[in-house]
Chains A and B, each alone.
Chain A
Amino acid sequence: MSESEYVIETTALRKRYGRKWALDGLDLAIPRGRIHAIVGANGAGKSTLFRVLLGFTPPTAGSACILGRDSRCLTPADRGRIGFVNEEHTLPAWVRVEAVVRMQRRLYARWNEGAFAEVIGHYHVLPEQRVGQLSRGERAGLNLALALAQSPELLVLDEPTLGLDVVAKRAFLESLMYSSAAARCTVIYCSHQMEEIERVADNLVILEHGRLAHMSAPEDFCARVTHWVADVPFKGPQPAGVPGLLQLQRLDGLHHYLVLDQDETFGDFLRGCGARSVQCMPVSLDRAVNGFLAKNHAAPAAA
């Protein structure tokens, strides 16, 4: 079995739906181990990336490898090494829990009953229940338990906690961070919830318009973004001329700038534009990611 250094590797990956490029030259290399969060605006290409990586749909151009294998020709054995949980938690509604578990146990050679029990124990799921009778949180728990019990090398989670209540969400995060099964695999975690990402992620990957926009530890990304408030008389500098500008707001006569990769010289720039006072402060991860994505987010044409 090949032991590649990267669990996911794509080169110039492109995928087109009609006139639209969902992936537009994506170069991504995610190293083995730890928990990686992927964020992006709606339509940034996250779900398409997973569909291509898991071989559900072929790329239009470029290459995609998962666990060192070409995504277009994954064998059942390769798939056994990958756990996948998506936001829909899709299992047929009519099937009983015990039947699903029996089937999975037979399908996956490295099935780990202990791991299954460890995760499912957080939820009140009875073996004789049908999937359709489970709540959303219980279905999420069942899916995660099934995925972890296969002892995967790579666990891919697409918005796994969407719509879960606070207790189910916490149980889910705990299973992810502290269960012994999860400790042995690389986790790719796709979410819009910054609060979760801050607690969970070792590494933050930002996709934008089907391309890689940023990858680093979350706190390093946070450090790239700063919030400046300046007292600029009249209109202030043209937004197009403001270096690294992500967001601009005028509040109570003060100009608020959210900027990327600017040091103290940005203060000099503002003073050069006539600012009477200039103040700078760090921002939270939520604010940093929000500002970053807002810059190129779709918006109706200005009136």
Chain B
Amino acid sequence: MARTRALMIQIATGDPRPIGRQIVEAVRMKIATGELEPGDQLPSVRGLAQQLTVNPNTVAKAYAELTAEGWLESRQGLGLYVAPPRQRLSDAERARRLDEAVDRFVHEVVPLDYPPATIQARLLRALGALVPRKRA
């Protein structure tokens, strides 16, 4: 039986992003970096609301948005869990976006006049930093 994982996030008042948005983005980032893994249970609405001192309705709305986007899934009577990863874009759309991004990158980098090997090495290092962190 999975136990609730601590959700180590912070919110800030006075930010242009509403608190609900801050929660959505923070949870997505935790999932994307692997700090939260599929099957992990999230804190209850009330629990997270108290942790952050915010209105429980704000947390409920954020969780609903994350569930609708497929990041979280609810298990009847048990609570919310990180959903198993699934592809969120069609293959064609993914390929198109990658082409676009590579194109933009090449255009920016060419005028800098580095040898291709240097650029490749830097790129690999940057991508390496994105690999999901192992849990302690």
Binding site for B on A (CB under 8 A): 34-35, 170, 173-174, 177-178, 194-195, 198-202, 218-219, 222, 281-286
Contacts and interface: CB of A to CB of B under 8 A. Distances in A.
A178 B16 contact: no
Contact of B16 (A173, A195, A218, A222): A222
A162 to B, nearest CB: 18
B49 A177 contact: yes
Contacts of B56: 177-178
A218 B18 contact: yes
Nearest to A223: B18
A199 B16 contact: no
Contacts of A178: 46, 49-50, 56
Which bucket holds chain B's interface residue count? 10 to 19
Interface of B: 13-21, 46, 49-50, 53-57
B55 A200 contact: yes
B55 A199 contact: yes
A177 B16 contact: no
Contact of A194 (B13, B53, B54): B13
Contact of A199 (B15, B46, B54): B54
Contacts of B19: 198-199
A94 B76 CA distance: 55
A199 B57 contact: no
Given A178-B46, A178-B50, A282 B55 contact: no
A283 B16 contact: yes
Given A219-B18, A284-B14, A285-B14, 18 more contacts: A173-B53, A174-B53, A177-B54, A194-B13, A194-B14, A195-B14, A198-B13, A198-B14, A199-B19, A202-B55, A218-B18, A219-B20, A219-B21, A222-B16, A283-B16, A284-B13, A284-B15, A285-B18
A224 to B, nearest CB: 13
Max chain A Cβ within 10 angstroms of own Cβ: one of B18, B50, B54: B18
A128 B113 CA distance: 81
Contacts of B49: 177-178
A194 B14 CA distance: 8
Contacts of B50: 174, 178
Contacts of B55: 35, 177, 199-202
A34 B15 contact: no
Given A177-B49, A219-B20, A34 B13 contact: no
